[in-house]
Amino acid sequence: MQVLVIGSTRGTGRLLVDRLVADGHDVRAMIRDPEQADDRRAAGAAAVAGDLEGDLEDAMRGVDAIAFCAGSGSSTGPDATLRVDLLGAIRTIDLAVELGIGRYVMLSSMAADDPLRGSAAIRPYLAAKHAADRILLASGLDATIVRPGGLTHDDPTGRVEVGVPRLERRGSIPRADVAAVMARCLADSASIGASFELLSGDTPIDEAVAGLGD
């Protein structure tokens, strides 16, 4: 499967590129800065130029699936949240429909189902994620929405807890485990149509993702 990873250079998306390449997928890594190309090629991906606030179509055309891992970051302010997390995400969804890309796995956030669950400071971000998720679910694409708790740089455990649609506790999860869950979702159609919260837990990732179809 040819997968475009949006947000491929850092954090979860960077780890997802590694995981998808290891799983034998044909991976396109979207980059904003041409100087990032060699690094992404060294990871085994094809580097393609694209920007959520600029041209996207060339990067997206021809792929089988989109994995959205981009984010404006917590220190960039509400305008960047609107431009990247909301409007940028919506543009990728609209283009995926237009270009006939069937599969879309979205990295969202815990509490995006109900932004008022979050603190006042984080509600604008959660509202952006909420709206993008709703638009994705209504798009007709084969969508999966992954909503992790706080992301860490810890080593992966390979074990998670999923809550459909939500978990009753807060917590964290290593980015590497989130990447592994997203890769598994791309490989397992049981996750199509699912929106779920995700934390570190006791269930092996393959089993947790397969259970989304129950």
Ligand X SMILES: NC(=O)c1ccc[n+]([C@@H]2O[C@H](COP(=O)([O-])OP(=O)(O)OC[C@H]3O[C@@H](n4cnc5c(N)ncnc54)[C@H](OP(=O)(O)O)[C@@H]3O)[C@@H](O)[C@H]2O)c1
Residue nearest to ligand X (CB): 11
Stretch that binds ligand X, among 3-11, 40-48, 155-163, 190-198 (CB under 6 A): 3-11
Stretch that binds ligand X, among 50-58, 97-105, 180-188, 195-203 (CB under 6 A): 50-58
CA–CA separation, 47 and 59 (whole Å): 9
Strand positions, DSSP E, the chain: 2-6, 26-31, 46-49, 65-68, 103-107, 142-148, 150-152, 159-163, 172-174, 195-200, 203-204
Q: Is residue 115 close enough to count as binding ligand X by CB under 6 A?
A: no
Smaller CB separation from ligand X, 13 or 209: 13
Q: At what angle do helices 175-187 and 11-22 cross, to 10 degrees?
A: 50
CA–CA separation, 65 and 24 (whole Å): 14
Residue 142: CA count within 13 A, CB half-sphere: 15
Size of the site for ligand X (CB under 6 A): 25
Restricted to residues 142-171, the positions that interact with ligand X (CB under 6 A) are 148, 150-151
Smaller CB separation from ligand X, 38 or 213: 38
Known catalytic residues are: 125
Give contact residues for ligand X (rule: CB under 6 A).
Answer: 7-13, 32-33, 51-53, 69-73, 84, 88, 107, 109, 148, 150-151, 175
